[in-house]
């Protein structure tokens, strides 16, 4: 079941899941989670833990995640590790069959949780071979499908994969952003205590624009000392300013930053003109770059995992970071108004910028994900500390 085959090769006995790539490659496996089919871009994630956080990260909207770690699902799922209440990844591909959970925190099996959340999984796949394929040829468009009876119309699935336009030029942020204002409550999580509560009195007010945010970002802002109001990503400049923010946070999110930037970049430019402090992560970082004249580009395979080394150029310190992005700020396009602050030690790509003369900066990685585990929390402290 692990081997790739052509569209017309015989279906292996017992195959109840399939991944059909847009080039006609067929990868068989055992389906779990939801039934049906879903289309997206196939990427890979190298993290050894945190699969529930990955699957609920809105930045993975429109994507099928191949986990390079073979044992996914073995600690089950729980309500505390969900990163968002909106859809993230449409499905996942794993090596070993999902087992019964072995964790005192588990509340449900991974397969049952996937089914309830409409996400399709396939196990029994040679994920190392699929990852090598993505590294060599780039992230392909594909359809993932699960049918307990093993009945698939491969030709129809191939057509669906080929007709999907891909992430380049796609604004997915508008599909995963909040649609209403929310006064955020809750700080950092602690074992046996859950999420901390905080008194808003005397805290600087941060307005966070949600382009597909992970909730743990807001918790880190609270932990760093802020009061947080979350607004939809398409909020107009005058409505943002009406909250009289001490600073504005630009969240992560899925899709092409240039597409989302059509409505977000003018807002960011208006904030910069008024010298409002800004902190951006991932998609927010990319659109901050666009707002001051840099360019973004689709990456060959992207960066996704919890073990990415990033060098801080100011002092040479290396942070171990969590990443999830298929687009990046082109560091060859940075205008004189931008200072490059961080770079990837894997490929030299841009991982941080600061706007000269402004209290505005962004990073490509996810400092809230704690892979270091606390290497990057200083960024939240830096932002909140600058608000006065």
Active site residues: 282, 366, 368
Q: End-to-end distance of the chain based on CA atoms, in angstroms?
A: 59
Decide: 322 and 47 in contact? Cβ < 8 Å: yes
Least Cα distance to 281 among 219, 364, 208 occurs for: 364
In sequence order, which residues have a C-beta less than 8 Å from that of residue 163 and are 6 or more positions away?
Answer: none
Q: Is 212 exposed, middle or buried (0-12, 13-18, 19+ CB in 10 A)?
A: buried
Q: Establish whether the linkage from the previous residue to 373 is cis, with ω within 30° of 0.
A: yes
Least Cα distance to 280 among 299, 260, 297, 300 occurs for: 260
Angle between helices 215-223 and 378-385 (to 10 degrees): 60
Least Cα distance to 42 among 107, 101, 90, 109 occurs for: 90
Rounded Cα gap, residues 7 and 26, in angstroms: 6
């Amino acid at each position: 079941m692990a081997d790739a085959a052509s569209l017309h090769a015989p279906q292996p006995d017992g195959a109840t899941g399939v991944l059909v790539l847009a080039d006609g490659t067929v990868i068989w496996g055992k389906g779990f989670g939801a039934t049906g089919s879903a289309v997206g871009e196939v990427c890979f994630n190298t993290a050894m833990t945190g699969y529930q956080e990955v699957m609920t990260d809105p930045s993975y909207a429109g994507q099928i995640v191949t986990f390079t770690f073979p044992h996914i699902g073995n600690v089950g799922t729980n309500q505390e590790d969900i990163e968002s209440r909106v859809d993230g990844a449409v499905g996942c591909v794993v090596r070993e069959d999902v087992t019964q959970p072995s964790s005192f925190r588990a509340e449900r099996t991974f397969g049952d949780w996937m089914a309830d959340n409409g996400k399709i999984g396939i196990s029994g796949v040679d994920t190392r071979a699929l990852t090598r394929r993505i590294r060599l040829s780039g992230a392909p468009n594909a359809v993932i499908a699960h049918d307990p009876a093993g009945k698939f119309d491969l030709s129809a699935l191939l057509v669906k994969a080929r007709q999907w336009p891909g992430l380049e030029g796609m604004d997915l942020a508008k599909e995963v952003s909040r649609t209403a204002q929310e006064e955020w409550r809750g700080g950092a999580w602690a074992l046996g205590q859950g999420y901390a509560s905080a008194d808003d009195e005397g805290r600087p007010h941060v307005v966070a624009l949600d382009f597909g945010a992970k909730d743990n970002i807001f918790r880190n802002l609270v932990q760093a000392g802020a009061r947080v109001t979350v607004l939809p990503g398409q909020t107009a400049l005058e409505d943002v300013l009406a909250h009289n923010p001490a600073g504005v946070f630009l969240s992560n999110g899925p899709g092409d930053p240039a597409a989302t930037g059509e409505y977000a970049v003018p807002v960011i430019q208006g904030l910069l003109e008024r010298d409002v402090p800004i902190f951006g992560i991932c998609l927010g970082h990319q659109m901050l770059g666009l707002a001051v004249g840099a360019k973004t580009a689709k990456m060959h395979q992207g960066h996704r995992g919890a073990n990415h080394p990033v060098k801080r150029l100011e002092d040479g310190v290396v942070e171990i970071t969590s990443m999830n992005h298929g687009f990046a700020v082109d560091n060859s396009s940075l205008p004189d108004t931008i200072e490059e602050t961080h770079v990837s030690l894997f490929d030299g790509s841009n991982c941080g910028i600061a706007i000269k003369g402004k209290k505005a900066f962004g990073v490509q990685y996810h400092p809230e994900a704690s892979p270091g585990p606390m290497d990057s929390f200083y960024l939240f402290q830096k932002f909140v500390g600058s608000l006065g």
